[in-house]
Structure 1
Amino acid sequence: MTTTETDEVDADRTWLTEHGDPTATEREVLRTVVGSGVHGIAIEGTDDHDEMGVYVEHPRAVLGVGHVDGHYVARTVPEGHRSHHGDVDLVLYSLRRYLALVLTGNPTALLPLFTPAADVVLTTPLGERLRAEGPELLSQRAGHRFLGYLRSQRERMLGAASGAPNRPELVAQHGFDTKYASHALRLAFQGIEVVEHGRLTLPMPEPERSLVLEVKRGERTQQQALAFIDERGAHLEDLLASGRSPLPEHPDLDAVSAWSTAEHLRYWHEHGLAD
């Protein structure tokens, strides 16, 4: 794994949508693939390409009084348009905001910490130190977030969340939104692994990965998908209710704050930003 410059990574990309902190890419320390590809459940010719990264804010953004976004979003499609195969969606979070998301157990934010080396797009010494902290940042809060996201995807699959599903082509082909269903089942499996073992394996291990792919391809009926989701979801809920987990109930906020403070000061000093 080698350090790569942001300009080199994005050289062949034309961003049609950009908003957030315009200086984020100047101090990027980590970027990885996220989304279906890193889970091992991408279907060739159908999925877009998602990346998530972390950057260090300028001292003025942390210590000053001006407005700070704490994130940057770039897409190769115009604002308001759905991404399709071949499109790229990028989101960068400031280190402070990223750690806050991780400490809540946000399932997507956890991915750069556990992504295999082959899916690391850009890294630095700080990025590697951040990834090494991954297991220490987990708590049972993550299990609750996985469960909440699972339920949200299940509701969307059933069309009960915010109107009709936004992938009518899947409903027309399979009778239900198989992508929502696969997301719900994946979240159930991964939430169980996080709570039960204190880790997140990427890509998904077998046989869980194959079952999720069967649901995503429409090879299982909606009733079968619901049965899988509800059974695994109930198991995750039971684990959380019983406290049967090697993870602490809550993250150690003092320890993470101390680590974050030390890393910001170190980065600013090393890059001549501390004066």
Structure 2
Amino acid sequence: MPRKKICKIITGSNLYGLATETSDRDYAGVYLPSARDILGLDVYPIELIENEKLSQGPRNTAADIDCKYFSLRQFMRLAAEGQSAQLEMLYAKPQHHIEPPDHHWQTLVDNKGLFLSRKTFVPFVRFALAQATKATLKGENLKFIRELLTFIPTLPVSHMHEPIRSQISLKDKAHYLGPVKVEVSMNEFGAELLTLAHRKYDTGASLKRLHDSLKILESKYGTRSQSAADKGLDYKSLSHAYRMIFEAEEMLSTGTLTLPLPDRTRDFVKSIKIGMIPDGLRWETDIMQRVNHLEHVLAPQSNLPDAPDWEKIEDLHASILLSQL
């Protein structure tokens, strides 16, 4: 039998109930490998990608369509490991399906409890903390880049071909390039490196080369980063952090996941996404307190099993694949 797509689900903000007019339309699905894939010598792909680029420019807009189909094996493995994108698909409602799902998908949904465990929340928390860090980091990075792009052209033209290190100064045991505090280190070959926006530059390179590189880097930052640079916070990343924490809280407390997000949760996350942080909310402290509560209260008290039932998951995987032979 040929490869068979068993579901196609709209994901992201449209799945959570957080979509706006400018939201991208992202889709994900699952496919069954063909009999030749299963029995043949070649390794079949873990993902199949279908993209439809309708807008102009390098970045996606709401007009563009991305769809990623996971192989059944990859999907089940990621779901059992607690990866949010795969687990969320199992809790999608009928209105989230772009095409009628195959009966094999319904079999997975009927057995979605196999994939949940007390370990499920760990990837959710890691992602949430990464997004919380990203909420401030992206804006800070772009702010530093813009400060240097303003500073370097103020130097005499003759300085533009001098090495970067010629403009690095030491103040209060910290290194500065113009107005920007930077990190200077040595690599294993003894070369001095400048770290800026998570990128490393040889301090022996010219200031002109650095300026040209930063101009290219600035152009790669999207409107979210530009907004974060202006306001000091990437609200969309922060909304992702809260959404993941709320999902982890629900799974550990109830053993299920509600999508779209419950009204109260959705309203809070949506307000964060558009930059309306509730008065008095110290989000850095609040997120860490919620993570601590997940780890030390909800996880130990959860009725979920300690780990996924891998044996039953593998049996389910095998039974579905047998239908392709």
**What band does the TM-score fall into relative to the shorter chain?**
0.7 to 0.9
Residue identity over aligned pairs, in percent, reads 26
Q: In structure 2, do the counterparts of structure 1 residues 173 and 75 end up closer, same or farther at CA, with 3 Å as the change threshold?
A: farther
Aligned length: 242
For residue 140 of structure 1, what is the amino acid of its counterpart?
R
| C-alpha spacing 1:158/1:117, structure 2 compared with 1 (3 Å) | same
Match for 1:52: what amino acid?
A: A
Residue 77 (structure 1) aligns with: 53
Q: Highest Rg: 1 or 2?
A: 2
> Kindly tell me: are residues 233 and 56 of structure 1, through their superposed partners in 2, closer, same or farther at Cα, counting changes over 3 Å?
same
**Normalised by the size of structure 2, how large is the TM-score?**
0.68
Asked if the contact 1:77/1:87 (under 8 Å) is kept, the reply is yes
User: Which 4+ residue blocks in structure 1 deviate beyond 6 angstroms?
Assistant: none
Compared CA separation, residues 36 and 173, structure 1 to 2 (3 A): farther
Match of 1:15 in 2: none
1:90 is matched with which residue: 51, 60, 67? 67
Equivalent runs, 1:7-22 vs 2, <5 Å: none
The equivalent residue for 1:156 is: 134
In structure 2, C-alpha distance between the alignment counterparts of 1:227 and 1:211, rounded to whole Å: 17
**1:181 and 2:159 matched:** no
Asked if structure 2 preserves the Cα contact closer than 8 Å seen for 1:195 and 1:239, the reply is no
Paired residue for 1:106? 83
Q: Are 2:17 and 1:40 aligned?
A: yes
8 Å CA contact retained: 2:114, 2:312: no
Distance across 2 between alignment mates of 1:154 and 1:48: 21
- Aligned match for 2:296, one of 232, 238, 254: 238
User: Which residue matches 2:214?
Assistant: none
Q: Where does residue 28 of structure 2 map in the other structure?
A: 52
Gapped runs of 5+ residues in structure 1?
1-22, 269-273
SS at match of 1:158: helix
AA aligned opposite 1:51? Y
Measured in 2, the distance between the counterparts of 1:213 and 1:228 equals 17
Distance in structure 2 (CA, Å) of the matches to 1:230 and 1:106: 21
| C-alpha spacing 1:53/1:238, structure 2 compared with 1 (3 Å) | same
Unaligned runs of 5+ in 2: 142-196, 199-217
- The one-character-per-residue Cα deviations of 1:231-254 (angstroms, maximum 9, x if unpaired) are 3222222236x5211111111111
Residues 144 and 256 (structure 1), Cα distance of their counterparts in 2 relative to 1, 3 Å cut? same
RMSD: 2.6
Query: Match of 2:263, SS?
Result: coil
- Conservation of the 8 A alpha-carbon contact between 1:98 and 1:109: yes
CA contact (8 A) 1:47 1:86 kept: no
Aligned counterpart in structure 1 of residue 273 of structure 2, from 216, 235, 253: 216
Supply the distance in 2 between the matched residues of 1:47 and 1:38 (Cα, whole angstroms). 11
SS at match of 1:260: helix
